[in-house]
Amino acid sequence: MKKFTLFIGMLCISIVALPQACPIVTNASFTSSADGSSLTVSYTGNGAKHIEYFIYCDGLEVASGCFDTHGDGTQSSAPVSCSGVLGWILVPGTGTCINGTTCGDTLRSPEGGPLPVVLGNFTVQRRSNNVSLNWQTQQEINLKSFEIQRATGSSSYITVGKVNAKGTTSNIENYSFTDNANSSKAVSFYRLKMVDLDGKISYTSIKSVKGSGALASFIVFPNPSFGHARITITDVSEPTDVRVLDNAGRLVKSITLTNNNTVELNSLQQGGYIIQITGKNSGETVVRKLTVIK
């Protein structure tokens, strides 16, 4: 009986002495100094281990690094500058920072951690009956896809397309989609539905685009003019013909705009003029009058 008891006791001692599979984080917090804020991590764990860290300011990554750990201890990162909310992610691992593998659970701060998606530019532009959407992400975390949604007038949003996301990346990624089925004469509204791998959903801001039959408005300045004036079209959404006629109906100037939105009128004689802009696709025409005085 005594031999059995001794065997059990030795077994218990040997189990306790086994090295932990992962370092255990007991505390993580930021400490402030004149140089900025440093992430201080306290941990326990036998043997050579490591903890990789990522620091975020208002959801954007601002620093990263790794602590090699040996037993129990506390280590701090280099200071970072952040005027917003700080957050962190800790990834424990076996081995060293250079030669090791991750293990255990990834730890996140309760606030200030990485945003699932950091969206950059998001633009919508009409090209005749097609509408081109372009957007950019500066960061993605567990992002599955983008669903392109469209609404017209008082109608509800419908999904007109889908683009797969990169998943998890801190690189700048560019995306595009063309809605080839938008011939609406009314204004169309677009938004992106962002779907995470865990099923969570978020939406971008809403962008609008003119209908296929809507001709851009324009202004002529100065009017009256002393012989020099400028025609400015507020939104060239299709190839647009600009024609300037005098009161006798004679053509004074003609030009087609595709990318530019201004036309200069120089050395005009005294009198009245008619300015016409016509959309090549829609065929609609808008007319303005210009008076030149001396």
pLDDT of residue 78: 94
pLDDT of residue 21: 78
Q: Are residues 96 and 9 part of one domain?
A: yes
pLDDT of residue 166: 93
Whichever domain contains 168, its CATH number is: 2.60.40.10
Q: Are residues 228 and 204 part of one domain?
A: no
Q: Are residues 167 and 85 part of one domain?
A: no
Q: For residue 284, is pLDDT > 70?
A: no
Q: What is the DSSP letter of 281?
A: T
Domain span at residue 198 reads 117-209
Q: Find, among 205, 206, 200, 11, the residue nearest to 115 by Cα.
A: 200
Residue 15 has phi, psi (to 5 degrees) of: -70, -45
| Span 194-206, pLDDT tens digits | 999 888 888 898 8
Across the range 163-192, mean pLDDT stands at 88
Q: For residue 4, is pLDDT > 60?
A: no
**Whether 66 contacts 101, CB under 8 Å:** no
Q: Which of 58, 80, 108 is the last residue of a domain?
A: 108
Q: Which of 209, 227, 258 is the last residue of a domain?
A: 209
Q: Are residues 200 and 286 part of one domain?
A: no
Alpha-carbon distances of 113 from 51, 65, 249, 256, 264, rounded to whole Å: 17, 16, 67, 51, 52
pLDDT of residue 236: 63
Q: Are residues 87 and 27 part of one domain?
A: yes
Q: For residue 13, is pLDDT > 50?
A: no
Q: Are residues 196 and 104 part of one domain?
A: no
pLDDT of residue 104: 77
State the total domains in the chain.
Answer: 3
Whichever domain contains 237, its CATH number is: 2.60.40.3080
Q: Are residues 192 and 173 part of one domain?
A: yes
75: β partners: 41
| Span 130-173, pLDDT tens digits | 889 999 998 888 899 999 999 886 678 999 999 999 998 888 99
pLDDT of residue 235: 63
pLDDT of residue 8: 32
Q: For residue 2, is pLDDT > 70?
A: no
Q: Are residues 63 and 122 part of one domain?
A: no
| Span 64-98, pLDDT tens digits | 999 999 889 999 999 999 988 999 999 999 999 98
Q: For residue 217, is pLDDT > 80?
A: no
Q: Are residues 127 and 90 part of one domain?
A: no
Q: Which of 108, 139, 161 is the last residue of a domain?
A: 108
Q: Are residues 237 and 156 part of one domain?
A: no
Across the range 182-207, mean pLDDT stands at 86
Average model confidence (pLDDT) across the chain: 84
Whichever domain contains 88, its CATH number is: 2.60.40
